[in-house]
Structure 1
Amino acid sequence: MAKFLSTTSLNFYLEELIKKSTKNLILISPYLKINARLKELLEFRSDSDLKVRIVYGKKEMAQSELDWLAGQRHIEVRFCKNLHAKCYMNDANAIISSLNLYEFSQVNNNEMGVLVTRSADTEAFTDAFEEVSRILRISDLVSFGDSAAESLDVETDQALEEDEDESSDHGQKLTTSKLAKKHKMKTSDVMTRLCELEYLELRDGRHYLTDKAKESGSEVRKGRHGFYFLWLDSLNIEI
């Protein structure tokens, strides 16, 4: 039988769910700002066979959170537009609740939820698993580091020139703002042109590298201020 969970018991059972996961762990929360205790538990599982997948739905995320996720190679991160569900599931249990995986919510909010077990609540658990699987299917994989697909906005890209000036390993590659200067264009116009040439695609107000761009040698780097694109100096963007 499903067990009702208050705010305090939600946090307890969420920790237990993570600790006792053996094969699969799926954490679905629109907002992400994982508290230190849960981060510690997730980091501890990095050398195990546990497959961890996190789905979130709000682009507004602190850079420190992005940096932490980028460093967790054993965690698959996905973005799902219009996500409002909160569900935390492993192979044996599922917590369905109002609780976001957000530090403020876990400490300050009044939350409630239910714990569903696979053995005692087979039908409900199966239905929850099917919906979680659907959310995973419609979510976009988020990449980090050298294989990152996401850039920051145009103004941030201009600010990232400082990263380029301090680096000496770019070879024959330019940031978007430097590419714009070379062609005597505005950075925003270059971004638009790169979309027209199918080197970038725009999704939910963010720019992503396409396969065509990656094949041409374009990449994403991470500097002190965040992620930024690098383009071959020889890239032809003329109309």
Structure 2
Amino acid sequence: MAKFLKNHGITNAIEDLIRNASRRLVLISPYLQLSDAIKRTLEAKMREGLAVQMVYRADNKQPDDIQWFQQQRIPTLGLDDLHTKCYLSESQCIITSMNLYQYSQVHNLEMGISIDRKDDAVAYGDVVQEVSHILDMMPKRAATLHSVTAVNANKSGKLSEAQLAKKLGLNETDLKKRMAAKGYLKLVKNSFELTDKGLAAGGEWQPRRNGGIYRIWPADLKL
């Protein structure tokens, strides 16, 4: 179930989301004015191997913050018409009216919702899919050491759906149909979405090197 957030509660929730992210983090904020605390947290998390991607509005008036992301070798994307504010990790997302902007966090009246993947896998999956569409606009050259390391650091032995299909001698569509029959995926608007049962079976999202995401599964997944 989504959790309602307002004002300082949003700031605290975003900071907690960043601290609790372990594999991937996407920050979508048209305007930026990063606090030193958030910068320090991001630096510490990236040293732990967290893959971070940043999307902002192309006419952003804080070039120093954009330069900071580039200095940290974080893939960035500037979009002309961006109005969305969304903060996404591998387990949680926050959709809100609040930018990552210190003045807004202190002075503005803001509200938003937090969605936990375990509590509402369908809503979380819908957000992930939309964020993936946005990240698909990111140039391939934006891939950095951090994003590449995160992709290659999958030591769990899990396989992508393409790899799992090949192992089982199936095409990907047939594999997804089998997963749907088992309840691991659910067909929603012509797209297969991860379910609570799929999460429990070990399905999870993984960041791509050039932006976007894909699902990975245990190599011995029961089908």
Distance 1:6 1:111, change over 3 A: same
Give 1:121's aligned amino acid: D
Structure 2 length-normalised TM: 0.60
Write the distance in 2 (CA, Å) between the matches of 1:98 and 1:38.
18
Q: Find the counterpart in structure 2 of residue 51 from structure 1.
A: 51
**Is the Cα–Cα contact under 8 Å of residues 93 and 125 in structure 1 kept in the other structure?**
yes
CA 1:142/1:102 → structure 2, altered by over 3 Å: closer, same or farther? farther
Give the equivalent residue in structure 1 for 2:192: none
Alpha-carbon distance in structure 1 between the residues aligned to 2:141 and 2:28: 14
Read off the aligned partner of 1:122 and give its amino acid letter. A
State the match for 1:210 in structure 2.
none
Cα shift readout 1:56-103 (whole Å, capped 9, x = no counterpart): 013233342233223212x21112221110000101000000001111
Match of 2:39 in 1: 39
TM-score by length of 1: 0.56
Measured in 2, the distance between the counterparts of 1:23 and 1:60 equals: 27
The aligned residue for residue 93 of structure 2 is 94
Q: Map 1:189-204 to 2 at 5 A.
A: none
Task: Please list every run of 5 or more consecutive structure 2 residues that lacks an aligned counterpart in the other structure.
Answer: 143-223
> What secondary structure, in the 3-state scheme, does the structure 1 residue paired with 2:9 have?
helix
Is contact 1:87-1:97 (8 Å) kept?
yes
User: Which residue is equivalent to 2:2?
Assistant: 2
Name the CA distance, whole Å, in 2 between partners of 1:44 and 1:115.
23
Count, aligned residues? 142
Q: Percent identity?
A: 37
Partner of 1:104: 103
Is the contact between residue 96 and residue 115 of structure 1 (CA under 8 Å) also seen in structure 2? yes
Once the two structures are TM-superposed, the CA of residue 47 in structure 1 deviates from its matched residue by: 1.3
CA separation of 1:141/1:29 partners in 2, compared to 1, >3 Å: closer, same or farther? farther
How many angstroms does 1:29 deviate by? 0.8
Whose Rg is larger?
1
Greater length-normalized contact order (CA 8 Å, ≥ 6 residues apart): 2
Kindly state the Cα deviation for residue 140 of structure 1 after the two structures are TM-superposed.
4.8
Question: What one-letter code is carried by the residue in structure 2 that aligns with 1:68?
Answer: W
Unaligned runs of 5+ in 1: 144-239
Question: Within the alignment, does 1:69 sit opposite 2:69 as a pair?
Answer: yes
* Preserved CA contact (<8 Å) 1:33 1:61: no
CA contact (8 A) 2:59 2:80 kept: no
Kindly report the root-mean-square deviation, in angstroms, between the aligned alpha carbons of the 2 structures: 1.7
Residues 1:125 and 2:124 are matched in the alignment: yes
